[in-house]
Chains A and B, each alone.
Chain A
Amino acid sequence: MAIILPDEPTPIAKVPSTENKTGGWRTFRPIINYEKCIRCYICWKFCPEPAIEFDSPDAHPVAKPQLAKFDSVKINYDYCKGCGICANECPVNAIEMILEEKLEED
């Protein structure tokens, strides 16, 4: 069998890390309570992955009618490692951290 050598002379990392689904690291899963969420985007601001994405305004329930014009947020569980910063920083306690095993049981 022929020896397989890289084409390029020096290693250049070009494959986006998005193929690495870090969601598997997670012990606790953040769950957004849309009845409480005020769409302030603080969770998005502080997410170190980032794994918080925007969704259309009507994709999720809304806490107050005047918030209905704002985009909602959702968590990309492919990447969320479950650090819990979002839940800790949420000004209205709209994110709950739940043990993955418990979710599986349910």
Chain B
Amino acid sequence: MAKMILTGNESAAWGARLSKPKVVAAYPITPQTSIIEKIAEFIANGEMDARYIRVESEHSAMAACIAAENTGVRTFTATSAHGLTLMHEMLIWASGARLPIVMSVVNRAMAPPWSVWTDQLDSVAQRDTGWMQIYSENNQEVLDSIIMAYRVGEKHNILLPTMIMEDAFILSHTAEAVDVPEQKLVDDFVGEFEPAFKLDPQDPGGFGSLIMPEGPYMEFRYKMALAMDEARKEIRKVTEEFAEVFGRKYPGLVEEYRTEDADAIMVVMGTIASTAKDVIDALREKGKKVGLARIRYFRPFPYEELREIVKKADMLGIVDRSYTFGYGAALYTETKGALYGHTDKPIKNYVVGLGGRDITPDVLVKIFDNMLKIAKDGVVDREIEWVGLHGDERWS
């Protein structure tokens, strides 16, 4: 095992390299670009043995990965923001075709107005595509998650694609010390790609043909739903196996931080978690009993874990780095949906950091204070609140 100083994007490229995809199809977009540049470098140096298709759009990147994977090889791609949303049609195609493609996504705000900074709307908007979604907290997790995603997704009882998110710049362009596992260990862990089906001139068949309403369309979708449920168990199992081989223990679908005896628990995805952990430590010093639940997997959604977590505190504060216009942000509505009938504790939605606005410890301290007040009063002051808008005295 080698310790390297890697950015999030370099970590993603290493994750791909170690997993040995045979076809990479990619298109550049800020801030994903350095992932696919690094992969190009690996291939040019003979350090990675993959066919690199320099496609003319992200839509084609996903289409090419789908076709290649359906032909019988492991594939990888990476994108961000507008690239990801351009792919939308093909994301649904990939999962419907049951192809366990793995993709790195750098979370970036959607235009207009143009913004290249972090915001999770791009990937949250892909919630219904049938992809598994992992939100990373640090560069090590970016790398390790890619390796685990291949192992989980390629199991023949799963066969679903996975996207692994990293926050733009905060991870993508920030270097940290990362353990890069030995190739041999990854080879054994991920294994050779064994397609469940493939295009083969010796065995003619049509993949994805027309199905009438009375045909098994609904049954195939139901099989997908079962696979996604099954993935919950596989993810928990594979994170355990990963810990045994590589010595790093990931908490399955949700990470809990100081949730025992907490009065209020914050629920987040992505790098907000790191700042929040520091803030929690500081607040705990002052006797304020706060904790954190970091959602690693937004899909499959960890409803079972959340039903346990909500028992540990008097309220939950759901902090979203995106907004779903019309009603509440996605993590909030999903959490509430999962907890309906399981709790009557107050739950509040905080919308923060859109377009890459910095989420400082001060902001989180104010949110925690608000959460503790709600925990004490037992009443939510405002169900959904945007935090830190210009001129808003509540948060300045």
A residues whose Cβ falls under 8 Å from a Cβ of B: 3-6, 8-14
B residues whose Cβ falls under 8 Å from a Cβ of A: 96-98, 156, 159, 196-197, 204-209, 211, 216, 219-220, 222-223, 227
19 contacts between A and B (CB under 8 A): A3-B219, A4-B219, A6-B220, A6-B223, A8-B196, A9-B159, A9-B197, A9-B227, A10-B98, A10-B159, A10-B197, A10-B208, A10-B220, A11-B211, A11-B216, A12-B206, A13-B207, A14-B205, A14-B206
- Residues of A with C-beta under 8 A to B216: 5-6, 11
CB <8 Å contact, B205 and A5: no
How many angstroms from the CA of A11 to the CA of B223 in the assembled complex? Answer: 11
Q: Whose C-beta in chain B lies nearest to the C-beta of A5? A: B219
Known: A5-B219, A6-B219. A11 touches B208 (CB 8 A): yes
CB <8 Å contact, B220 and A11: yes
How many angstroms from the CA of A1 to the CA of B213 in the assembled complex? Answer: 21
**Shortest distance between the CB of A80 and any CB in chain B (Å):** 24
How many angstroms from the CA of A18 to the CA of B205 in the assembled complex? Answer: 14
What 7 pairs across the A-B complex have the smallest Cβ distances?
Answer: A13-B206, A12-B205, A13-B209, A9-B98, A10-B98, A14-B205, A9-B159
Interface of A, secondary structure class, is: loop
- Residues of A with C-beta under 8 A to B204: 14
CB <8 Å contact, B206 and A5: no
- Residues of A with C-beta under 8 A to B209: 11, 13
- Residues of A with C-beta under 8 A to B227: 9
Interface-centre pick from A5, A6, A8, A10 (highest chain B CB count, 10 A) = A10
- Residues of B with C-beta under 8 A to A10: 96-98, 159, 197, 207-208, 220
Interface-centre pick from A5, A9, A14 (highest chain B CB count, 10 A) = A9
**Shortest distance between the CB of A61 and any CB in chain B (Å):** 39
Q: Whose C-beta in chain A lies nearest to the C-beta of B97? A: A10
- Residues of B with C-beta under 8 A to A13: 205-207, 209
**Shortest distance between the CB of B309 and any CB in chain A (Å):** 33
- Residues of A with C-beta under 8 A to B96: 10
- Residues of A with C-beta under 8 A to B208: 10-11
**Shortest distance between the CB of B211 and any CB in chain A (Å):** 6
How many angstroms from the CA of A3 to the CA of B197 in the assembled complex? Answer: 24
**Shortest distance between the CB of B326 and any CB in chain A (Å):** 34
**Shortest distance between the CB of B125 and any CB in chain A (Å):** 25
- Residues of B with C-beta under 8 A to A12: 197, 205-207
How many angstroms from the CA of A8 to the CA of B203 in the assembled complex? Answer: 15
